[in-house]
Structure 1
Amino acid sequence: MCVLYHLYNYGVINLGHVIIPIGSYNTSSPDGKELFLTGISLIWKYDEIPVSTCSEDCPLGYRRVMKKGIHRCCFECVQCPEGEISNETGSCHKCPEDEWPNDNNKCAPKPVEFLSYMNDPVAPTVSVISVLLFAKTSAIFCVFIVFRETPVVKANNQNLSFILLVSIMLSFLCVFLFLGRPGPVSCMFRQTSFGIIFSVAVSAILAKTIMVYMAFKATKPGSFWRKYIGVKIPNCLVLLCSFIQVLISVIWLLTACPFPETNTDLYPDKIIVQCNEGSSLAFSILLGYMGLLAVVSFFVAFLARNLPDSFNEAKYITFSMLVFCSVWIAFIPAYMSVMGKNTVLVEIFAIISSSLGILGCIFIPKCYIILVRPDLNSKSKLIKETKTCQ
């Protein structure tokens, strides 16, 4: 049925009542065009245009919630859930996975977080520290080469000292694999490189400790340890222990190679670029084997700490392994309790501090004797003290 309504505006002008036709409403008109207004200005009471709702529009970031039992023009404003923005209709919708609402109620790209040289002051600071420690270790290495014929360097196999110093230098350099945006190459070699380097270093320390014990036993008359004194045993020990770690690393890389990934679940408002280790079991085995070598070295050095050695080699090794083990024991709970780039920082700290502990406990006292107290760097001092201890 077609119905036509005429619309009038009733008002008061100059104390007189007026009725002004302003349009019509025709039900037979097309959808959306049923209402027709003539455009003549309407006269409202108090010259205020009424609103069609009893609630004000919701601000940005809020959505409408209808009040129960009240007309739909009356509503409450509730803040949008985390990660959502509001649109013109007063409803909320979720931002894409790689975006997050900004202050203007728009979805903006999430910030990407990693140890950046440009945006994070920690990365250049760590770089400078690593370079300085590498330079310091290189200087000690040069001192040992220059004074390689002196007793303090020749005592307890100078080749092992050179291997250990080179390993410490490489450990400071491998820190750079943990800095910057993770890539396929850095993720592939960051864990395996430091694992192999430290295995070589700890193997050299273990060989040095065994040589201290064998050298003392060989001084006794008729000792069968004399035939084992030489370069073959310590070199073979270093090669064997290091080869096992290399084998673990190769199997890890071939079966479950680490790779870079973007983690959008760790933090809701930013993206973490990190390395996926590929296999947490392989990483645990790598750390476990390195820890086993350190514990064995510490145990052997602790047993040999009271042997008569004028340069206190076993005591220095004991202290260095105590520092090394303490750092990596503390590393495990710290590594498990932090997230994001902080896990990388914890591992960097463990690498630098454990390498510095070995360098300081084993080589700094010898450098002191070589450079400051050359009067102690003589074979006569070594022979005299050995006889006194016997």
Structure 2
Amino acid sequence: MKLRYKILSILLVFSILTSCGSKENKAVEAHHDEEEAHENEVSLTPEQFKVANIQLGLVSEKALSGTIRVNGLLDLPPQSKVSLSTPFAGILKSTNMLQGKKVRKGEAVAVLEHPDYIEVQQSYLELKSQSNYAKADFERQQELAKEQVNAQKSLQKAESDYQILMAKFNAVKSKLKLMNINISNLDKGNLTNTITLYSPINGYITTVNKNIGAMVNSNDVILEIADTEHLHAELTVYEKDVPKLKIGQKVRFVLANEQKERMATVYLIGKEISAERTINIHCHLDEEDAHLIPGMYLQALVESGVKKMLSLPEDAIVDFEGDKYVFVAQTSENKNEHRFKMLKVNLGVAELGYVAIEIPELKDIQNEQFVLKGAYDLLSQLKNREEEEEGGHGH
């Protein structure tokens, strides 16, 4: 009987000890979980938040699948580019045009001079006088013919002489118009040895090929002018991707040395495959930008599918101990504190500066405020705090 009581006593003590040990283990585990959660959080004062230039934002829906990656450049349609020349050789007397200068349609851009210009004007005045005389003679012969005073042959010759002179006169007059010579002034006897060239379009000077005093021949391009208001994206697509193309597809592109994403729309698709087995597609920009320049290189994605994925900018992703993380803003009762939590993220397709993401810990990912810029500053803050804590434990 005594032995039985001893056994029961031992079992009771063991049960109490086991229960206490279990509670202690649970408490330790809870404390460990709390520390681990705390380790992944960082807080900033309003001053630190401002200095770090933290930028918050929501996830974006991007078509990161079903796209065609292509290269290209910004270009202008032929009607938006002008190579200014003149069929009349001369010496460049004056111009104040420089690359980048804005010009209006009809604005004077260059003045040429040459003694031959005088000869054309002189021919005009002489032919004008001769044609007036020939006209009067022809009309007189007509009157004489009516009265049967002269021979028909005289009338025919007078008519022929008048028509020949008028043909020469009109030819010289057209030539003067090409030279931009003011005919009204010329009719008053005002001759000039200069001609003025005018801009045929609104635009910007892109090239100046001649300096003052240089000889300009009839086949020389003096200036080049571009109307950059209607730039388009000219993309090069490989033959294998041609079946995926359709007019109206959206195009996302970024220019070299620029992170800003721009949009365009497929407007024309080439019908000839080059020797490199590619075709060109012509895309209109959704938003015009006067600061863009023809010839800029770009990288683009033609959206050939409609599937969209939740994504963040690449700057929002940080690499820590071999894994990828993002920072999510946390609510704080302290108004003088900005709190952020670092969460592990699974990455998907990465295109044009955006990455498809999955975060298992977040249920309502679309309503979370993510750190889009400044994520590495938060990571540095987190590491510094851990190092300080480890140093304190060491003492």
TM-score normalised to structure 1 length: 0.22
Structure with higher strand content: 2
Normalising by structure 2, report the TM-score. 0.21
Q: Specify the structure having the higher radius of gyration (Cα).
A: 2
Larger helix proportion, structure 1 or 2? Answer: 1
Q: More relative contact order in 1 or in 2 (CA 8 Å, sep 6+)? A: 2
